[in-house]
Amino acid sequence: MKQEPVDDDVDALVRQRVRGLRVSQGWTLDALARRCHVSPSTLSRIETGHRRVALDQLVPIARALGTTLDQLVEPVGDDDVVIRPEPQQWPGAVTWLLSRDRAENGVIVAKMRLSPNPASPTDQRVHPGHEWFTVLSGTVRLLLGDRVIDVQTGEAAEFDTMTPHNLSAYRKTAEILTIFDRDGERAHLHDS
């Protein structure tokens, strides 16, 4: 199988991004041409691959589309999409972080495997924020203040974390998908 040169990959990527941005703006070739001072026929040939885009054309095209040159030419790789979590051991839990530290909204997504651990009401924590989880398998016992709530497979729970709380597997190992804010991450994943 013949592999295309990297230059062709970048050129194809730029063509797709220029066309995609133009279409998402609702612009015709003529509309973009007016904004970047490149003829509509040149833009058409660039988008269809019948002409290579030159740097002196790419800068005004990027500017007109409201993006940067870097964003137009940055190659696509799996590492910016695929997260390969490493397990982290905590007393009574194994955690896999499923979101990146750079999450713009400050939300951390994690998969957790909880072991049965009979917690007493004094083992509960409080911290600012909200927490959400859904049970993938097993049953999770949620101590929430003076309440004991069993959350079954397929069910979810959401609560204010200023209420004293503790999660553990009930009777057998359980797995959950959880969403923490930054305060929750610090409380549950760094202070354990």
Model confidence pLDDT, tens digit, residues 41-90: 999 999 998 988 888 888 999 999 998 888 888 876 666 678 888 899 98
What is the Cβ-side half-sphere exposure of residue 181, based on CA atoms within 13 angstroms?
Answer: 12
Average the pLDDT over 25-33 and give the result.
92
Can you tell me whether residue 143 is helix, strand or coil?
Answer: strand
The Cα–Cα gap between 110 and 103 comes to 13
Q: Which residue has the tokens 């804010």?
A: 181
The strands making up 174-180's β-sheet, listed across from edge to edge, are 87-90, 93-97, 108-114, 174-180, 130-137, 156-160
Beta bridge partners of 93: 90, 114
How many percent of the chain have pLDDT more than 70?
83
- Global pTM value: 0.59
Q: Which residue has the tokens 């495997």?
A: 113
Picking from 136, 131, 186, the residue whose alpha carbon sits closest to that of residue 159 is 131
The Cα–Cα gap between 189 and 85 comes to 14
Q: Average pLDDT, whole number, for the chain?
A: 84
More confident residue, 101 or 155: 155
pLDDT at 185 over 70: no
The Cα–Cα gap between 94 and 114 comes to 7
More confident residue, 168 or 83: 168
